[in-house]
Structure 1
Amino acid sequence: MRLNRTVFAGLAGLCLLLVSLISVVGINLVRASDPIPEAVYDCLPAQTQAPNLWGLVETTAGSYALIGVSEGETYQEVLIYLDTQATCRSLLPEDDPVLSHYIPLNVARELALQRYTQVLQEQGGRDAYQEQLTEYLTAAPDGTRSQFPQEYIWALEQLGIELPPDSYEVLR
């Protein structure tokens, strides 16, 4: 009887150990499949939920990552710079969505192009997104115009998306 308890306790301990190992391996596999570079997490806002990598551009001086983050009901995009030693720095303040104010225009355009390429995929393709965007922009109350940074307008043009005239302003 005592031997059965010892064997049972040993098996229970072994099962607990295996479950713990599987959990750790599972978490590490999820993180390993995450396209966001590990060092970027140090520069994301503290309450970030489910960050989304919109774009990543590597240069000789380092990398730039455009990350969409949600904090409760608030959504924003964060621009993170990683130097060659993988030290990160957040570059985009909440109140200024113009990437090219902080990075070279060609890098900003590439990030915007990657962003909108993903948006088109998520929204069901170019035609579906064109329809949604046109409907959104034309449904705005009179006198209200959406604002787009110049690099976003460039990216939309590259993807064949047209913005309805007089429905937007260019942020420079």
Structure 2
Amino acid sequence: MSPSNNMKLRIQQYINDNYISDIISYSILEEQPDILQSEIYIQENKRSLEDVFNQVHETFSELLLRTIDEKGLVDSEVYKKAHIDRKLFSKIRNHPEYRPSKATVVAFALALQLDLDETQDLLLRAGFALSPSSKSDVIIQFFITEGIHDIFQVNEALIAFEQPVLGG
């Protein structure tokens, strides 16, 4: 079952408003070289390894497990809703430094019904972000901002726009 025509039009409008093509991204960098200069400055600003470790925060695994507990949910309820198998969830639970795929992180964000800021934070803990230059990311962002956290609806829209699906 694919999304209704009305939903597909709303998603398409959201993509049109929020999707940044690679051409636009590169032209912005060419027009604003100071962006690159600030990145070079950050790279040249040396810190000790101890300083870096003192700024380490919760890992993805720690944040995920804490969020599940804070929402009063059961682990199995969350990983089933995210369509993640028990073995992968066990690996995440038992290895705090484990790095899941971006699709897995988004599936957990949907299962936990996180808002956009919470989703971005969870993604960042795993080394990812929702990018305005990725159609699938813009579609996912659309559903989260609309308060629609049903992975089946999200996957139907991703399929309709020929994007990879979430979950296992």
TM-score normalised by L of structure 1 = 0.22
TM superposition score normalised by structure 2: 0.23
Larger Rg: 1
Judging by fraction of residues, say which structure has more helix: 2
